[in-house]
Amino acid sequence: MIRLTRRYRFSAAHRLHSTGLSEEENAAVYGKCNHRHGHGHDYLLEVSVTGPLDPATGLVARVEALDRLVETQVLKRLRHRDLNTEVPELEGLPPTTELLAAAVIRMLREGWQEAFPAGHPRLESVRLHETGKNIFEAFCST
């Protein structure tokens, strides 16, 4: 098995706020990230796929197919968006980067079969760098 990881960048804004918490609880849990006007991040997204090498090409995945999939399924939906109000996959949820990473996996799975009809490679994980110190990784269960 070989793992291929590709990196992509996008910018988006959010306010960490849960409707299930009081204003005081939101402030205590999310701190400065609960600022009423929100804030933005320049995210770095890493998408990792695994699979056997194709004997004809020597590749685990066609990079162009993966790039197209990430662009159409993820980046177009997240780039320069307000994650609180413009991303249906996060509707009603506090748009934490943990929840965003899980949503990215769901977004990729929506178009996976069309991009990779042979079933290879397999989506392994996504890593989402929110800041230089905060990195979140979501793994595929199958």
* 51 phi-psi bin (left φ>0, alpha ψ -120 to 50, beta other): left
Looking from the CA of 25 toward its CB, the CA atoms found within 13 Å total 5
Quickly count helices (H) and strands (E) in the chain: 4, 5
Please tell me which residue in 33, 46, 98, 120 is annotated as part of the active site. Answer: 33
Please tell me which residue in 39, 80, 110, 114 is annotated as part of the active site. Answer: 80
What is the Cα–Cα distance from 95 to 86, expressed in whole angstroms?
Answer: 11
The verdict on whether 130 is a catalytic residue reads yes
The verdict on whether 140 is a catalytic residue reads no
The verdict on whether 33 is a catalytic residue reads yes
Length of the chain measured in residues: 142
Q: Which residues are catalytic?
A: 33, 80, 130
